Structure 1
């Protein structure tokens, strides 16, 4: 099949402006349609221009992206753009063809004003003093299979053999060799099978990278110490958004996860994911935990789709969210663990008969003390009805979560109001996690009104609530994957 001829761009006196974020499917679809129409446009990434984003929110009353303008005429989002009649579209095109940019057109950034990203290399900090030692030990031939309690343990070694190797190869006294081994435990290079502290005995150990072979970030040594857990997670999320935008179909409908594995960007991402193995997360404060684990969750979903493929049915989804995992700070965290164990304060999730973390589980140390309902509008599980993907920072996490919640409720997937039927239709998210929003219809409705942005939808919903007898129902949830088959 011959490649299609590119559409010739039309000459415009005015300007079409599209406000977007990286990886947003609706944004990509709007841009694809503009390109197919031969209409050049100026794109503003609101993540890189937060001041302009706030101006657009104030101007339109909408928190969602994309927001599309033909000169100073606000079209709306991608659905609004798609639903324009032929006459309406022709009038808009005539406007930008024949009229220069008016003084009251929406703002665009001045050159060099966009927020600059730190390169991946700056996030590695310094190389750990024991990195070369671990790499050398891996080549020593000591790591192998060992029997214990009638079970074969792969990729293991005894504490005694490690100490003897340190004494022989590094010419150390026994006490000094034991001290180094203890340091390796503290720095989470080693993982004990049974003992809590290092012992110069036949007790078995593994390197952290070998301990949880099913996790997606093991198999390589975490040689570098991260500068900051929250900044590290932001960088990982930004790389996945870059992958997302580079491997999207031209119409913006599907993502080619299979081709991502061959991308240099994915190699950079995997390098950052490896460093999570030894990252200190127990000292994180609430805002840092929120930003870190939301970013890691959303990145891990994409990593899981790349390596394992997208789940196609209920059983595959259950397996996916309970098995796809990272080793973080020496502990395994599945998607289920992150959402329900950490971010929901160790509450039962959908189809779970018990809490994710049992009493005494070391991961309880990083779980939030109380559930944060706003996380439901920041987590993206990789299906069409999920909230859009974004990157969150510890400094602005509360504001960002409120904006994401308002944007989700503002869209048709989050909340719909039918005045004629006196009905408020909400996303299934509110049904599944109703306890997080108060537990009753009345409290849930009050919560929605409190978090809706100022908009016509909020005004109508308030009026219906004041009249009483409002019916609460739930919208169908689209579990379709955005993966290209």
Structure 2
């Protein structure tokens, strides 16, 4: 990791607000702890004229300058960072040399350089670390944090039922850990026992034993420290403030990031998730970094379509983010915790999965089994709800089950058309709607029963909504004929509650 507060030179990124590769380039620099000056071609007067001095032909962002050394595009930057020798020479360039006259010059760049110098002088005078550096040190995960994450993915940390009346929640058995770490890391049992001792001292708050000692024992169970109040899922490094606060523009960047993530982790019909493929996925790392910037979003200035697209994308990715970080849920209580207790901070407010789904997307309606609406009368998130809710979200949300709709990314500009098209495709499937014309039976997905009020106040209203949503064809004609004859029976299709998470074999 690099920290260039003390470097003499300057790194400058010429970017555009809606450019996904500009975002990726800045995220990559940030991952490497390289401070940079962001020059937006959309906002900074004279920026394009200055850049055209170094670029021939059409300008395609980003353009990155390490002093006078010019790198074109995100892929160009990525390739150079992979070439250790060349990258070290570039770092040495900005470390030892001030930005020369042959490098880009703008009033904004000069102003930022002066601000960085003043900040460095102030820190030296105070004899203290900068806030950003101190926060970064606190953010860096330890080796054992990663080990705990691996244990979750290996299903070692779970609710262990030891008798009819006793369950050790969020725990692991010592022997299971020893066997797993010996097998996966090829270490001796004695080393595994030492690692177990250090692990429980660092991460596990309770030892379930008769004597209450803190010695690691393979025959005992250990419980993870409660993470319920660990803060937002998108916390960590402080946001840079370099990215757009407009929800529509932010969602476009988000959409372009998550589409390749879905291509990498979803199966062919886009309904099942290979969750472990997120481990070394660069786009997922960029996504996590981008969501830290969501705390600066101005939700109050967004349109209904922008909120519909953004919060749908956010819900689907947040569910995967939770599963990746916390592990595949083993019980209904774990699933409930994921939906109610883990949250992102967006703008000035917290959003769990249920508050996004039931509060925002469904128009502040009570969820299944809930006794009250997500947002009370004084809740400051109420102005952001989708008025009356949008029924089409039921065909866009990852239900966490194998019967989930295909998982896709949605644009702010065309979200209604995209959701409607997906609904039409699903309504053509017998898994959502099956018509038995001979017996006059209409078989419906159970979502039309559980969430019937989202589609209409009566069965007739629900069927009319379905007819209006369907595309023209024989199936729609058959439904219309049965409906208007009025001699039909409604039956609800069975539900497969199996999780749609696929566990790749651990290497």
Fold shared, TM-score > 0.5 on shorter chain? yes
Superposed structure 1 runs of 4+ greater than 4 Å apart: 122-135, 138-141, 248-254
Aligned residue for 1:269?
287
Distance 2:378 2:289 in 1: 31
Tell me, what secondary structure is at the counterpart of 2:467? helix
Tell me, what secondary structure is at the counterpart of 1:298? helix
How far 1:237 moved relative to its partner?
Answer: 4.1
Partners of 2:401 and 2:496 within 8 A in 1? yes
TM alignment of 1:216-255, pairs within 5 A: 216-227=233-244, 228-247=246-265, 255=273
How far 1:350 moved relative to its partner?
Answer: 1.0
Distance 1:214 1:452 in 2: 43
Q: Alpha carbons of 1:123 and 1:403: their partners in 2 closer, same or farther (altered >3 Å)?
A: farther
Query: Is 1:463 paired with 2:481?
Result: yes
CA displacement 1:50-81 (0-9 Å, x = unmatched): xxxxxxxxxxxxxxxxxxxxxxxxxxxxxxxx
Partners of 2:24 and 2:286 within 8 A in 1? no
Aligned residue for 2:303?
285
Distance 1:435 1:370 in 2: 10
How far 1:419 moved relative to its partner?
Answer: 1.5
Relative to the length of structure 2, the TM-score reads 0.54
Q: Alpha carbons of 1:395 and 1:253: their partners in 2 closer, same or farther (altered >3 Å)?
A: closer
How far 1:378 moved relative to its partner?
Answer: 1.4
Aligned residue for 2:462?
444
How far 1:444 moved relative to its partner?
Answer: 0.8
Of 332, 355, 358, the match for 1:314:
332
Q: Alpha carbons of 1:230 and 1:299: their partners in 2 closer, same or farther (altered >3 Å)?
A: farther
Of 339, 343, 352, the match for 2:370:
352
How far 1:441 moved relative to its partner?
Answer: 0.9
Distance 2:339 2:235 in 1: 18
Partners of 1:234 and 1:391 within 8 A in 2? no
Query: Is 1:376 paired with 2:278?
Result: no
Tell me, what secondary structure is at the counterpart of 1:235? helix
Distance 1:457 1:433 in 2: 23
How far 1:239 moved relative to its partner?
Answer: 3.1
Of 100, 115, 130, the match for 1:136:
130
Aligned residue for 2:21?
119
Q: Alpha carbons of 1:449 and 1:368: their partners in 2 closer, same or farther (altered >3 Å)?
A: same
Distance 1:250 1:465 in 2: 35
Q: Alpha carbons of 1:120 and 1:272: their partners in 2 closer, same or farther (altered >3 Å)?
A: farther
Aligned residue for 1:388?
406
Of 338, 348, 354, the match for 2:356:
338
Partners of 1:120 and 1:268 within 8 A in 2? no
Distance 2:343 2:426 in 1: 27
Tell me, what secondary structure is at the counterpart of 2:325? helix
CA displacement 1:316-355 (0-9 Å, x = unmatched): 3222211232110021100100111111221111111111
How far 1:123 moved relative to its partner?
Answer: 9.8
How far 1:242 moved relative to its partner?
Answer: 2.1
Distance 2:260 2:457 in 1: 38
Distance 1:278 1:326 in 2: 12
Number of residue-to-residue matches in the alignment: 304
Tell me, what secondary structure is at the counterpart of 1:282? helix
Distance 1:255 1:300 in 2: 13
How far 1:292 moved relative to its partner?
Answer: 1.2
Q: Alpha carbons of 1:291 and 1:441: their partners in 2 closer, same or farther (altered >3 Å)?
A: same
Q: Alpha carbons of 1:428 and 1:324: their partners in 2 closer, same or farther (altered >3 Å)?
A: farther
How far 1:467 moved relative to its partner?
Answer: 2.2
Q: Alpha carbons of 1:239 and 1:476: their partners in 2 closer, same or farther (altered >3 Å)?
A: farther
Unaligned 5+ segments in structure 2 are 1-17, 27-37, 41-107, 124-128, 139-227
CA displacement 1:156-213 (0-9 Å, x = unmatched): xxxxxxxxxxxxxxxxxxxxxxxxxxxxxxxxxxxxxxxxxxxxxxxxxxxxxxx973
Give the structure, 1 or 2, with the largest relative contact order (CA under 8 Å, sep 6 or more).
Answer: 1
Distance 2:443 2:256 in 1: 33
Distance 2:290 2:324 in 1: 16
Partners of 1:218 and 1:277 within 8 A in 2? no
Query: Is 1:409 paired with 2:427?
Result: yes
Distance 1:305 1:427 in 2: 26
CA displacement 1:284-336 (0-9 Å, x = unmatched): 11111111111111111221221122334433322221123211002110010
Aligned residue for 1:257?
275
Tell me, what secondary structure is at the counterpart of 1:326? strand
Name the Cα RMSD after superposition: 3.4
